[in-house]
Amino acid sequence: MSKSPRPVAAVAPKSASAARAQSKNSSSSLQSRRRYVKKNLWYKNPVWYIVAALILATAVIIVFAYQFNHPQMKATIGGTDATLLHQITSVNSQVFTNVGNGGIQNSFQPTAAGSSPLTGPNGKPEIFFFGAEFCPFCAAERWPLVIALSKFGTFKELHQTASSSTDSSPNTATFTFVDSKYSSDYVDFVPVEAENRDQGALQTPGPNEQAIITKYKVNGFPFIDIAEQFTDSAPIFNPDVLAGYSQRDIASKLTNADDEVTKNIIGSANLFTAAICLATDNKPSEVCTNSTISAIEKSLKPGAFHGTGNSLALTTTSPIWTSRREGNKAA
């Protein structure tokens, strides 16, 4: 007897909304899986780590370069306290002896034979300094000049400042001779700071000083005339030696004769001292008859120009630093 076919239960057709919901869920699940796969690929791809490392390295280099070219200013601008002034003008005599010329090259130029002595307002041999507050080479030169002059007299109201923040060797810690007072039984000191830290006009040379500037065709900074016996327009030493130091930092180094800062500053101060002694007929004797100074005096005589040091030697008429108003260029 043949079996009749089993009845098949009828499947109710899905409603349109149910079909759409199922399709949406399937699509959402597929997209979720795809997103998950993509995320895993992003994290696993080593190229992204390389890119991130390169970006980080570039950022570090940019920050370092900016800080190198724009160092934080540590120099003080304002009055010099008595303790600091005493510290730099009373360096131990043994330091001067141990440093000698410090390897600084003698760039002083003897004046022509028969030149009339330069005397200051009190009739004493005049030390004429022509500089500018913005000038980094002037900033370096003031250190040994203050120290040397302090062996012949006394400074008061010597203010601290820094060279321009936008030139080479920016923010070099130094002093300014504006409004300073100097007294001496042996020399007259006549400083002229022609421009301020922003290169604005500051001080004007007097008639005698202007005559010297004209005579030697001086059109840059620094320039110094030691009683018309020696002139110098070369930087005494490279101001980069002082980079990153405050006035107090520099002063604290002057006890160590082996420090590069000390060698440059004290070596230059000994050169200035010897030149001034020749202008004062070796007075005072306690300063000028010192064996170190006497030896350096011999190197200052005509025909005795030698040395292997840190000076950037130039001829007397070559400006090392001119005003931006005239086209600021290092020679």
Beta strands in 82-125, from DSSP E residues, in sequence order: 109-110
Q: Quote the CA–CA distance of 16 and 19 in Å, as a whole number.
A: 5
What are the structure tokens assigned to 108, written together? 């002083």
> In the structure, what pLDDT confidence band is assigned to residue 5 with cuts at 50, 70 and 90?
low
Q: Quote the CA–CA distance of 293 and 123 in Å, as a whole number.
A: 25
β-pair partners for 183: 154
> In the structure, what pLDDT confidence band is assigned to residue 306 with cuts at 50, 70 and 90?
very low
> In the structure, what pLDDT confidence band is assigned to residue 19 with cuts at 50, 70 and 90?
low
Q: Is the pLDDT of residue 15 over 60?
A: no
Q: Which residues of 198-228 are buried (b: 16+ CB within 10 A; e: fewer)?
A: ebeebbebeeebeebbeebebebbbbbbbbb
> In the structure, what pLDDT confidence band is assigned to residue 318 with cuts at 50, 70 and 90?
very low
Query: Which pLDDT does position 311 carry in this prediction?
Result: 33
- In this predicted model, what pLDDT tens digit does every residue of 156-209 receive, in sequence order? 999 999 999 999 999 999 999 999 999 999 999 999 999 999 999 999 999 999
Cβ partners under 8 Å of residue 240, min gap 6: 169
Query: Which pLDDT does position 13 carry in this prediction?
Result: 56
- In this predicted model, what pLDDT tens digit does every residue of 125-138 receive, in sequence order? 999 999 999 999 99
Q: Quote the CA–CA distance of 223 and 198 in Å, as a whole number.
A: 20
Query: Which pLDDT does position 303 carry in this prediction?
Result: 40
- In this predicted model, what pLDDT tens digit does every residue of 34-44 receive, in sequence order? 554 445 555 56
What are the structure tokens assigned to 234, written together? 């070369």
Q: How far is CA 310 from CA 135, 138, 239, 263, 273, in A?
A: 18, 15, 10, 10, 18
Q: Are 224 and 232 in contact (CB under 8 A)?
A: yes
Query: Which pLDDT does position 307 carry in this prediction?
Result: 34
Query: Which pLDDT does position 331 carry in this prediction?
Result: 31
Q: Which of 244, 235, 202 lies closest to 321 in space, CA to CA?
A: 235
Query: Which pLDDT does position 65 carry in this prediction?
Result: 54
Query: Which pLDDT does position 329 carry in this prediction?
Result: 34
Pairing of strands 78-79, 153-156: unpaired
- For the ranges 216-225, 286-295, 302-311, the lowest mean pLDDT is seen at 302-311
- Name which residue leads in pLDDT, 152 or 42: 152
- For the ranges 87-101, 114-128, 181-195, the lowest mean pLDDT is seen at 114-128
Q: What percent of the chain has pLDDT over 70?
A: 72
Mean pLDDT of 26-37: 51
Q: Are 213 and 205 in contact (CB under 8 A)?
A: yes
Mean pLDDT of 99-107: 93
Q: Quote the CA–CA distance of 234 and 267 in Å, as a whole number.
A: 15
Rg (CA), the chain: 36
Q: Quote the CA–CA distance of 163 and 138 in Å, as a whole number.
A: 8
Q: Are 207 and 291 in contact (CB under 8 A)?
A: no
Sign for the CA dihedral angle at 45, 48, 53, 56 comes to negative
**What is the pTM assigned to this prediction?**
0.73
- Residue found under tokens 């900033």: 139
Mean pLDDT of 75-80: 81
- In this predicted model, what pLDDT tens digit does every residue of 238-265 receive, in sequence order? 999 999 999 999 999 999 999 999 999 9
Q: Which of 319, 164, 140, 145 lies closest to 247 in space, CA to CA?
A: 140
β-pair partners for 119: 125
